[in-house]
């Protein structure tokens, strides 16, 4: 097959690019619930992440026991995301570099649970300085739809070699979808799953796991041969310093 001479990057939203834990924690606090700290949150399995540990379980369960209360939670979560949701440090700059790269197709695939999630996520990115309209794709999936088939269709639509396709995520389903479609997984342990759970419980090789957003940024940009120059955030170099640098080469 004649693939295009391009790379593909599929970004996850919650827990990979967006600090979902802080948004959920603020939502729980608003409803007089306790989510616990990030370390304990990451140790819980699936639905129990939102019900808390033994200490928090009774109160949290009462707040989520019927549809009306769950709807109120989602409404608050939506407001928190849209008004306060933050990208992890350095992620906006990383995304801007990916978008600007001439031979990189980049976009978002998310199963976010807020109201009108597509609009919610776009507002989060836009408020954090990333133009969501600049992505090559921006897809919200229903909770019942797995990512694997969608990853495959995106890659095929852009006609990109699987060996030049990358997927970034923080959960088991992200890893399975990447591996299942021949993409290289860039997994992170600062989102919904800890390093230990990713490696020991899910079976992700430790070499594929980034412990913080800065490590993800460095690894991904290096893999794509994109200059990771951060001089725009450093102090300017004077003419004397610049001349001295040239003379020492």
One digit per residue, pLDDT tens: the chain, 249 residues? Answer: 799 999 999 999 999 999 999 999 898 888 777 777 788 778 756 543 444 444 443 444 445 545 677 788 889 999 999 999 999 999 999 999 999 999 999 999 999 999 999 999 999 999 999 999 999 999 999 988 999 999 999 999 999 999 999 999 999 999 999 999 999 999 999 999 999 999 999 999 999 999 999 999 999 999 999 998 764 433 444 445 544 544 444
Q: Give the pLDDT score at 235.
A: 43
**Which class is domain 7-14+92-232?**
alpha beta
**Residue among 87, 100, 114 nearest 216 (CA):** 87
The two most distant CA atoms of the chain are separated, in Å, by: 72
Q: What is the pLDDT of residue 219?
A: 98
The pLDDT of residue 69: 72
pLDDT, residue 60, reads 47
The predicted model scores a pTM of 0.84
The three-state (H, E, C) secondary structure of the chain, written as one string: CCCCCCEEEEECCECCCECHHHHHHHHHHHCCCCCCCHHHHHHCCHHHHHCCCCCCHHHHHHHCCCHHHHHHHHHHHHHHHHHHCCECCCHHHHHHHHHHCCCEEEEEEECCCCCCHHHHHHHHHHHCCCCHHHCCEEEECCCCCCHHHHHHHHHHHHCCCHHHEEEEECCHHHHHHHHHCCCEEEEECCCCCCHHHHHHHCCCCHHHEECCHHHHHHHHHHHCCCCCCCHHHCCCCCHHHHHHHHHCC
- Residues in Cβ contact with 185 at an 8 Å cutoff, skipping those fewer than 6 apart: 166, 167, 168, 169, 174, 175, 178, 179, 204, 208
CA dihedral 146, 74, 39, 29 (to 10 degrees): 180
């Amino acid at each position: 097959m004649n693939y295009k001479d391009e790379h593909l990057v599929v970004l996850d939203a919650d827990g990979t690019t967006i600090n979902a834990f802080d948004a959920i924690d603020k939502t729980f606090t608003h409803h007089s619930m306790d989510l616990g700290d990030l370390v304990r949150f990451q140790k819980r399995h699936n639905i129990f992440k939102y019900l808390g540990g033994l200490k928090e379980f009774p109160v949290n369960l009462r707040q989520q026991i019927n549809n009306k209360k769950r709807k109120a939670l989602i409404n608050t979560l939506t407001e928190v995301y849209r008004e306060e949701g933050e990208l992890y440090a350095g992620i906006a700059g990383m995304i801007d570099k990916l978008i600007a790269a001439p031979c990189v197709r980049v976009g978002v695939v998310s199963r976010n649970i807020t109201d009108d999630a597509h609009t919610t996520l776009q507002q989060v990115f836009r408020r954090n300085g990333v133009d969501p309209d600049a992505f090559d794709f921006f897809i919200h999936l229903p909770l019942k739809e797995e990512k694997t088939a969608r990853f495959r269709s995106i890659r095929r639509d852009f006609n990109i070699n699987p060996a030049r396709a990358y997927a970034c995520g923080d959960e088991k389903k992200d890893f399975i979808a990447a591996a299942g479609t021949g993409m290289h997984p860039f997994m992170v342990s600062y989102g919904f799953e800890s390093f230990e759970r990713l490696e020991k419980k899910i079976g992700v090789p430790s070499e594929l796991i980034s412990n913080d957003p800065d490590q993800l940024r460095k690894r991904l940009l290096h893999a794509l041969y994109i200059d990771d120059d951060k001089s725009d955030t450093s102090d300017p170099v004077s003419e004397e310093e610049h001349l001295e640098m040239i003379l020492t080469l």
